[in-house]
Amino acid sequence: MNRLNPDIIKKWPIQDPKVLQLYSLPTPNGVKVSIALEEIGLPYEPHRVSFDTNDQNSAAFLAMNPNNKIPAIIDPNGPEGEPIVLFESGAILVYLAGKTGKLMPQSVAARYETLQWVMFQMGGIGPMFGQLGFFHKFAGKDFEDKRPRDRYVAESRRLLCVLNKHLTNRDWIMGQEYSIADIAIFPWVRNLIGFYEARDLVGFDDFPEVQRVLDVFVARPAVKRGLEIPSAS
C-alpha cells in the first residue's frame, strides 16, 4: 500500500493494508461490489465516499478514478502479486469473479453469456433507469416538456420486457446459477421501483418474472448486508 497515492491513505485511513479496500456508497452501482464481496467472502475494508462533502471530486478519489464515479477498489493482492486500482463497477465485478473463481460459470460459452448480461446492465438498464430517475424524481420532474421522461419510461419498459422474457422458467439470469449478472442487474431494478418511486410509472406489475427474481435476490443474506455498505457512520 505504501506505493499508492498518499492522499488516498490520508483521506481514508486503512486499518488492514493486507485486504482489499472498497471506496463506495450504497447506490445501485456501489452496492454491486459490496454485494459481490459479501457473496464471495473475500476480506475487505469499506470506505464511504460521501457525495455530501464532494469526496468524489477530491484529489484522493480522482487518483483512483479520474471519472469521479463510485465505486473504486484497491486490491493489494492483485495480478502477479502487485497492487491494482480499479474503477467501473462492471469491471470490478469481472475482476472479482476472475480473481476468486466465484459468481461466474466455468464453461467458456457461459462466461461470455454472463458478460453479455453484465454489459446489458451497463449499457442499457443503468443509463436508462438512471435517466428515468432524474426526470421522474429529481430536477427533471419540474420540466414542463414530458417527452424526455416518457422516452426513458418507454425504454425502461422495453428493457424490463427483455428481462422478464429471459427470466421465464429461470431461477437467475444464467438459469440455475447465480452470477455477477444478477448482482449487476437487480440493484438497479430495486432502485427503479424503490428509491426512484417509478413502479406505477413503468407498469412494473406487468413484469412478474422480474419481481419474482428480485424478491429472491433481496432476501439473500449477503445482499442484505451489501445493500448497507458502506454504512453512514
The model's pLDDT over 8-56, given as tens digits with 9 standing for 90+, comes to 989 999 999 999 999 999 999 999 999 999 999 999 999 999 998 999 9
Domains, the chain, ranges and CATH? 6-102 (3.40.30.10), 108-220 (1.20.1050.10)
pTM: 0.95
Give which of 85, 80, 67, 78 is closest to 22, Cα–Cα: 85
Note the pLDDT tens digit of each residue in 209-223: 999 999 999 999 999
- pLDDT tens digits for range 48-82: 999 989 999 999 999 999 999 999 999 999 999 99
176: its cell numbers: 440455475
Which secondary structure element, helix H or strand E, spans residue 134, and what is its range?
helix 126-137
Residue with cell 484522493: 60
Q: Rounded to whole angstroms, what are the CA distances from 77 to 13, 14, 102, 117, 155?
A: 18, 15, 17, 28, 41
